[in-house]
Amino acid sequence: MPYDAEVFAAATARLEQRRSQAHEENERIKRQLYNKLPRLAAIERELANTGVTAAREIIGGGGDTKGKIEKLRQENLALQAERAELLVENGYPQGLLDVNYFCQKCKDTGYAGDSVCDCLRALLREEACKVANAGSPLPLFTFDSFDLSYYPDTSDGKYDFNVRWHMEKVFSHCKSFAAEFKHADTSLLMLGKTGLGKTHLALSIANAVIEQGYGVIYDTAQNIFMKMEDENYGRTEKKYTFSVFDCDLLIIDELPDFASPFSINSLYNIINTRMLRKLPMIVSTNLTENELAARYGERIFSRLIGQFTLLKFFGNDIRQLKLRRRSNGGAI
Ligand SMILES: Nc1ncnc2c1ncn2[C@@H]1O[C@H](COP(=O)(O)OP(=O)(O)O)[C@@H](O)[C@H]1O
Ligand SMILES: [Mg+2]
Ligand SMILES: [Zn+2]
């Protein structure tokens, strides 16, 4: 994992925070319960005692150590059972006094057995993505500020369907993609002219997915390929490139009209690798399908059209509409 010290420190700090929060919460619950049910406090003291006695036996005990340890083990189990019973009798869940770790597998230590726990991997991905997204306009866009009334409630003379109805479907597809990101198994291709809300929806998805604790990288295609090219020709570690391949969700916005052979090659590798790893991505562009095929070649085009869910954007440039609404005092 080529994460630098800064990313590692941020991730482990968050683990530590989870751990101490879990312990504090546990202490709080204990204080409350021990007040109400003093027998529980006595059981905890007795449990601690059996532990100490067992340790003493192991270190210094002569005679029948094995038998004594077994007896202590039985006492311990009986105390635990009594505690569970007492809790249930009083209407509490029987595990209420256990520390409620964010990740039970590693008890928020980040390591399960000899290996790095998935929860620490996820935090590392998230923190690496935060660094990668520094300075992007991510926080500015949400589903809430997406307004369907900007799309004509007619076929607009140009199409044989109602544009607003169509965009309503696009909008709800994006919302469910974000809400059910855990199960996302497809990628999205957003096509349409400029100013129709592609970036707005892509960033809204990004924010909703980040909120669920996933690592998301968003940038324009040009920036992404430029950073990858810098890493490719520089002597630095390929941290950004690694995250582009590895993050939970990658958003490549505005595939441009012209792309260098390096960009085209990178795009092909990104799409292939992420498809193999079942990691979703969102690609957006102002290009038409024909232009996409002509600029990016058959092998990229066939994957984008064949494997991605196609979301076509229609309507009139919303940047212009907003300016007009403003100068009309709010009316359309
Ligand atoms: N449905 C919408 N509701 C509110 N604002 C929108 C909507 N669609 C686009 N916008 C705004 O219009 C501007 C252009 O939209 P953008 O998403 O950048 O278009 P695109 O990426 O398709 O070129 C942005 O400021 C965006 O916030
Ligand atoms: Mg855009
Ligand atoms: Zn864990």
| Ligand 1 centroid – CA 320 distance (Å) | 10
Distance CA 37, CA 96 (A): 13
Ligand lying closest to the C-alpha of residue 256: 2
Distance CA 312, CA 281 (A): 16
Q: Is the CB of 196 under 6 A from ligand 1?
A: yes
Distance between alpha carbon 89 and the CA centroid of its chain, in Å?
Answer: 40
Average pLDDT over residues 232-239: 83
Q: Is the CB of 319 under 6 A from ligand 1?
A: yes
The letter for the amino acid at 134 is A
228 contacts 259 by C-beta, under 8 angstroms: no
Confidence of residue 185 (pLDDT cuts 50, 70, 90): confident
Mutate to test the pocket of ligand 1, among 196, 200, 203, 313 (most ligand atoms within 8 A of CB): 200
Whether 8 has a pLDDT exceeding 80, the answer reads: yes
Percent of the chain with pLDDT over 70: 97
Ligand lying closest to the C-alpha of residue 195: 1
Atom of ligand 1 nearest to the CA of 313: 22
Distance between alpha carbon 206 and the CA centroid of its chain, in Å?
Answer: 9
Q: Note residues around ion ligand 2 (Cβ under 5 angstroms).
A: 198-199
Two tokens at 21?
């929060």
Crossing angle for the helix pair 289-307 and 261-276, to the nearest 10 degrees: 20
Give the pLDDT score at 331: 57
Chain segment 130-142, per-residue pLDDT in tens: 887 877 777 678 8
User: Which class for 149: exposed (0-12), middle (13-18), buried (19 or more C-beta within 10 A)?
Assistant: exposed
What is the greatest pairwise CA distance in the chain? 96
Atom of ligand 1 nearest to the CA of 253: 21
Q: Is the CB of 315 under 6 A from ligand 1?
A: no
Percent of the chain with pLDDT over 90: 70
279 contacts 250 by C-beta, under 8 angstroms: yes
Give the pLDDT score at 60: 78
264, 2, 251, 110 alpha-carbon torsion, rounded to 10°: 160
Two tokens at 182?
């855990």
Residues pairing with 219 in the sheet? 252
Q: Is the CB of 199 under 6 A from ligand 1?
A: yes
Chain segment 205-214, per-residue pLDDT in tens: 998 998 888 9
Two tokens at 17?
């925070």
Mutate to test the pocket of ligand 1, among 199, 282, 320 (most ligand atoms within 8 A of CB): 199
Q: Is the CB of 197 under 6 A from ligand 1?
A: yes
Two tokens at 205?
């998805």
Whether 1 has a pLDDT exceeding 60, the answer reads: no
Half-sphere exposure of 161 (CA within 13 A, CB side): 11
Cβ count within 10 A of residue 330: 7
User: Which class for 191: exposed (0-12), middle (13-18), buried (19 or more C-beta within 10 A)?
Assistant: buried
Chain segment 286-298, per-residue pLDDT in tens: 999 999 999 999 9
Q: What is the mean pLDDT of the chain?
A: 91
Q: Is the CB of 195 under 6 A from ligand 1?
A: yes
Distance between alpha carbon 69 and the CA centroid of its chain, in Å?
Answer: 46
| Ligand 3 centroid – CA 96 distance (Å) | 20
DSSP annotation string for 19-87? HHHHHHHHHHHHHHHHHH-HHHHHHHHHHHHHHHHHHHHHHH--S-HHHHHHHHHHHHHHHHHHHHHHH
Per the document, the length of the chain is: 332
Chain segment 47-82, per-residue pLDDT in tens: 988 888 888 877 876 678 888 888 889 999 999 999
Give the pLDDT score at 61: 67
Domains of the chain: 5-118 (no CATH), 133-327 (3.40.50.300)
Residue with tokens 């544009």: 163
